[in-house]
Amino acid sequence: MPVWQRVYEELNDPNFVLICVAEDTGGEAVAGPIFDAAKPTYVQVVDEDHLISSVFNFVNVPSSAWIDEEGRIVRIDEGTYSKTHQFGEGDQAFLFGNDVYTPALKDWVKNGAASSHVQSAQIVARNIREHGINEMKADAAFRLGNLFRAHGEKAKAESYWAMARTLNPESINFFRQNLTLTEEGSGGETFRKLRVEYMEQGKDYYRPLDIKAS
């Protein structure tokens, strides 16, 4: 999150709004301190029910939408990293993120519709994932699970979270969110196995970023 604060400060444009949304069932307890450490001046949302992922049909974090002054989406659903990061250490380490996203974002904020990074409505619509009856029902089940958790009803919470996962198996959000509430955590063996399975099946863990280094 400090990286987004830096980008926001570098842009320093009153007509640009940055909204960072924490998809975290753990709520303020887990997302709050990370936000606070960044001393953010952008808009911060803790989204326990993953509402924003549902609005834009995202299945993973970080994902994003660029929205222009008229409310039109001009880029969507890309692994939204402001720079290259390393996850893990030694043999387990892998790099993720990139160094081309932030310059592209800055170009758009400066040049608007004239930016070469603005995509047509047709391309954007094509890049939005399908979110059919099952995926929508998965959202409803996930939220029901969260409500039961908040009311101490463990068995029901678990059962509706499992339903969400079954109805929307493409959602890495639901899968890893659940792992955060285990001893193993979201970056353990189960996650690594899923990531390998994804790649072996030729599926995008993130949709490839369609931005070339300038």
Partner 1 sequence: MTRAFGAFPELRHPFEVMPIHAAGQATVLYQGKKVTFTETGKGEGLLIKPSDLHSVNGFELKPEGVCCNDICIPLREGLLIEQGGKQWFDLVAFADLLGQPYVVDQASRVWSFAEVPAKRANMMVNAMAPDFEVKDRQGKVIRMADLKGKKALIVTWSSW
Q: Which of residues 74-113 bind partner 1 (CB under 8 A)?
A: 74, 76, 80, 105, 108-109, 112
Which CB, 103 or 112, lies closer to partner 1? 112
**Residue 209 vs residues 41, 43, 54, 97, 180: alpha-carbon distances, Å:** 27, 25, 21, 10, 27
- Rounded to an integer, what distance in angstroms lies between the CA atom of residue 214 and that of residue 209? 14
- Rounded to an integer, what distance in angstroms lies between the CA atom of residue 125 and that of residue 166? 26
Bridge partners of 97, per DSSP, are 84
Element (H, E) at 95: strand 94-97
Which CB, 140 or 211, lies closer to partner 1? 140
Q: Candidates 2, 41, 94, 188: give the one binding partner 1 (CB under 8 A).
A: 188
Lay out the site mask for partner 1 across 123-162 (x = CB under 8 A, - = otherwise): -xx--x--x-x--xx-xxx-xx--xxxxxxxx-xx--x--
Q: How far is the CB of 127 from partner 1 (least distance, A)?
A: 9
Which CB, 1 or 202, lies closer to partner 1? 1
**Residue 177 vs residues 12, 99, 133: alpha-carbon distances, Å:** 33, 27, 22
Q: Candidates 99, 184, 197, 204: give the one binding partner 1 (CB under 8 A).
A: 184
Identify whether the C-beta of residue 178 lies closer than 8 Å to the C-beta of residue 159. Answer: no
Identify whether the C-beta of residue 42 lies closer than 8 Å to the C-beta of residue 5. Answer: yes
Per CB under 8 A, 35 contacts partner 1: yes
Q: Candidates 6, 62, 169, 211: give the one binding partner 1 (CB under 8 A).
A: 62
Q: Candidates 43, 83, 85, 196: give the one binding partner 1 (CB under 8 A).
A: 43
Q: Candidates 107, 180, 198, 207: give the one binding partner 1 (CB under 8 A).
A: 180
